[in-house]
Structure formats: C-alpha cells, structure tokens
C-alpha cells in the first residue's frame, strides 16, 4: 500500500541552524514525491517536487530509492521558514496521499 | 484564475445542526479532493471526485458526512448532524490530470467549530 511517514510532529531549531525534515514512503514502482508547506492559517502550497530537482527558498529534497526517503533540507534556517510541512505522493486512482506533517519552528 | 475558493472561511455551529461547506475548483481541473486537517490526525483525505463522479469515499468518517459535485465548478461537503469531534479545518483541492503532474491546488480552508 502507498504510504507516507513523517516521524517528527515537531522540529524546533535556532535561526541559522541546518534543518532536515524526514519523509519515508512506501510505494510500488517509481514514485513522484512532493513537499507542501502551510504557513500559519494559510492554504497548503507546493514547495517542491522531486522530478524538478529544484531548490525553492533554499530548500532541497533528494529522492533516495534505496532508503525510500525524500527528506527536506535547508542549510541555514530562517524564522520565516516556520510552518507546517507535508510530504506527499500520488496514490491509486489519482489521489494525493499526505504524511502526518511536521511543524517546523525556527527560533531567533 | 482566483484559485480554489472555499466558503465559508469560518463556521461556528451548535452540535446537532447541519453544516454545508462549499468549494469552487480551478476552472478546467478534473479532480476535486476534500481533506480534513486536525492536530491529532494530520491531513486526511475524505473523498475525491474525477469529472464530477465520486471515486473514493472510504475516508468519509461516517454516514453523517456526505459530498456532492453537481457540476465541474462546484462541490459541497455536508455534515448532518454535526458533533464537536467534527471540529477541524476542511480543505478542498483540485488538480488537472492533463498537465502530467499530480500537483494539487488547495483552497484557504474552512475552519469548523462545533460547540
């Protein structure tokens, strides 16, 4: 079954520290993975998708098929990065499956 | 396009009352999703439609919940009767399968409080 696991509900770091939000997945075949971000009381919005191999707002994520992981990383966290982050992949029938989410808190 | 539009943004209702949440997807999108967000369970998929047809409603918690999509530009999620445990943020999202990406676009959400 397709599944996304984000083991950390809350991650707290200081400004300027490196950040890694973990995401592990279960999927048959080659997955298409996403990270979504939700700033306080706003809509979820796409942060990045693995097939684009892009860096958005300093964040990157590499798909590791051996470890079935898609961790989100940023070398130097900023206070404005504080938000809820969701990892997601497509499920059967065209739906999008989300992990439980990780709340990132960046302290000054 | 204004994006996915949901109404109302906030709803406070008494237990036992009927609640109707509304969603207007992005024009041309053929998939529509309803999600519920809570602290305990994160983001749960309740039901989704493809070309106005419900595809999977296995996430709907119980018979008190129902959803319709009478046309390509409108969907409703109804809770009757509502209970305090239904308090959550309900998101609608839409997607265009023709783009080749599975990215979904979300509305602002409806924050439901049942007292």
Reported as a single tens digit per residue, the pLDDT across A23-57 is: 999 987 778 899 999 998 889 999 988 877 777 88
pLDDT of residue B101: 67
Q: Shortest CA distance to A69 belongs to which of A23, A38, A15?
A: A23
A34–B103 CB contact, under 8 Å:
yes
pLDDT of residue A20: 97
DSSP per residue over A68-89, as a string?
Answer: TB--EEESS--GGG-EEEEEEE
Strand-pair partners of B27: none
Mean pLDDT of B88-113: 90
| Whole-number Å distance between alpha carbons of B61 and A79 | 37
Structure tokens at A77: 């966290």
Establish if A99 touches chain B: CB-CB under 8 angstroms.
yes
Which of B25, B88, B103 should one mutate to test binding to chain A, selecting the residue with the greatest count of A CBs within 10 A? B103
| Whole-number Å distance between alpha carbons of B52 and A5 | 30
A44–B45 CB contact, under 8 Å:
no
Mean pLDDT of B10-20: 97
Which of B41, B42, B55 should one mutate to test binding to chain A, selecting the residue with the greatest count of A CBs within 10 A? B42
How sure is the predictor about B69, in pLDDT bands with cuts at 50, 70 and 90? very high
Strand-pair partners of B53: B50
| Whole-number Å distance between alpha carbons of B99 and A6 | 28
Q: Shortest CA distance to A49 belongs to which of A57, A60, A41, A58?
A: A60
Strand-pair partners of B68: B76
- Tokens 């770091």 label which residue? A13
- Tokens 């009767």 label which residue? B81
| Whole-number Å distance between alpha carbons of B8 and B86 | 16
Chain A residues close to B93, C-beta within 8 Å: 44, 96
How sure is the predictor about B100, in pLDDT bands with cuts at 50, 70 and 90? low
How sure is the predictor about B49, in pLDDT bands with cuts at 50, 70 and 90? very high
Chain A residues close to B106, C-beta within 8 Å: 43-45
| Whole-number Å distance between alpha carbons of B115 and B110 | 16
A96–B42 CB contact, under 8 Å:
no
- B 29-88 residues with CB < 8 A to A: 31, 33, 35, 41-43, 45, 48, 50, 55-56
A4 and B66 Cβ atoms separated by less than 8 Å: no
Chain A residues close to B104, C-beta within 8 Å: 96
Q: What is the mean pLDDT of chain A?
A: 91
B56–A34 CB contact, under 8 Å:
no
């Amino acid at each position: 079954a397709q599944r996304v696991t984000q083991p950390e509900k809350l991650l707290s770091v200081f400004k300027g520290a490196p950040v890694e939000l973990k995401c592990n997945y279960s999927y048959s075949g080659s997955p298409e993975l996403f990270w979504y971000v939700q700033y306080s009381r706003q809509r979820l919005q796409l942060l990045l998708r693995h097939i684009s191999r892009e860096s958005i707002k300093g964040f990157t994520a590499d798909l590791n098929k051996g470890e079935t992981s898609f961790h989100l990383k940023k070398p130097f966290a900023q206070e404005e990065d504080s938000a809820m982050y969701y990892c997601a992949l497509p499920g059967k029938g065209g739906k999008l499956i989300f992990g439980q989410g990780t709340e990132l808190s960046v302290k000054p | 396009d204004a994006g996915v539009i949901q109404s109302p943004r906030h709803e406070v209702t008494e237990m036992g009352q009927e609640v109707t949440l509304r969603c207007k997807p992005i024009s041309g999108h053929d998939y529509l999703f309803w999600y519920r967000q809570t602290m305990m369970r994160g983001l749960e998929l309740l039901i989704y439609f493809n070309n106005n047809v419900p595809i999977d409603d296995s996430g709907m918690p119980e018979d008190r919940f129902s959803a319709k999509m009478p046309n390509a530009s409108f969907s409703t999620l109804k809770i009757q009767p509502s209970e305090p445990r239904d308090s959550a943020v309900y998101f609608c999202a839409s997607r265009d399968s023709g783009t080749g990406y599975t990215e979904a676009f979300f509305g602002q959400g409806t924050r439901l409080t049942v007292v």
